[in-house]
Amino acid sequence: MLQMPLPPSPGAQEHCSIDLVNSEIQLPSNKSFDALATPESTTQWLIERNLVPHEASLQAYCQNRLATLRAQIREAFTASTSGTEIGREALRGINGALLAAPNTALLRQENGKGFFRALEHPATQLTEHALAALAEDAASLLSGDEADQLSQCEAEPCTRFFLRTHGRRQWCSTRCGDRVRAARSYARKKEQKL
């Protein structure tokens, strides 16, 4: 199992869409990390977030669909944080994910124990339900009260998104902030020597 090299950014635990976008990052060592690199790691990522059942086993097609939605949500987040327009394809993809899975709980009855409601979750629709949940979270975040708190880390080469919970926070983690401050200090010392 691939282990994320950084702790979750602020807001990623509350918003699975931030967590999804941050599942692919560029590390300072010029290496990259992708939690959705294989069908197995994609399945594990979804299981850990309770978006598919523990016995799920997704194929490459499902992995690619999730990676595509990740890119579309990243584009939406970038548009939101930079004040630019989102591309039509990305918006169409997010809306398509929202519509792909039924979100109305159907009426069920279990062997004389009474009625209950549950979402239909056949194995063939696991991916649709996961995509819909992720797209719903992104749509709610982008159109809700927290939209103005969504930020992108300003520490190069980090591309993670986070929610600013206070002040003018510029970095997704202490690690990124420390790296930027150390680089500034090094540049000042180097400049003083000249």
DSSP string, 44-60: HHHHHTTSS-TT----H
How many structural domains compose the chain?
1
3 in a structural domain: no
65 in a structural domain: yes
CA atoms of 155 and 181, how far apart (whole Å) = 10
40 in a structural domain: yes
Structure tokens at 106: 């159907």
Residue range(s) defining the domain that contains residue 104: 16-147
25 in a structural domain: yes
Q: What is the pLDDT of residue 42?
A: 95
CA atoms of 39 and 179, how far apart (whole Å) = 33
29 in a structural domain: yes
Q: What is the pLDDT of residue 4?
A: 63
DSSP string, 145-194: TTGGGEEE--STT---EEE--STT---SSHHHHHHHHHHHHHHHHHHHH-
4 in a structural domain: no
150-152 and 106-109 strand pairing: unpaired
pLDDT along the chain (194 residues), means of 10: 70 94 83 92 94 90 95 97 94 93 72 74 72 94 93 86 81 73 69 71
47 in a structural domain: yes
Q: What is the pLDDT of residue 1?
A: 47
- Residue 33 in 3-state DSSP? strand
51 in a structural domain: yes
Q: What is the pLDDT of residue 183?
A: 65
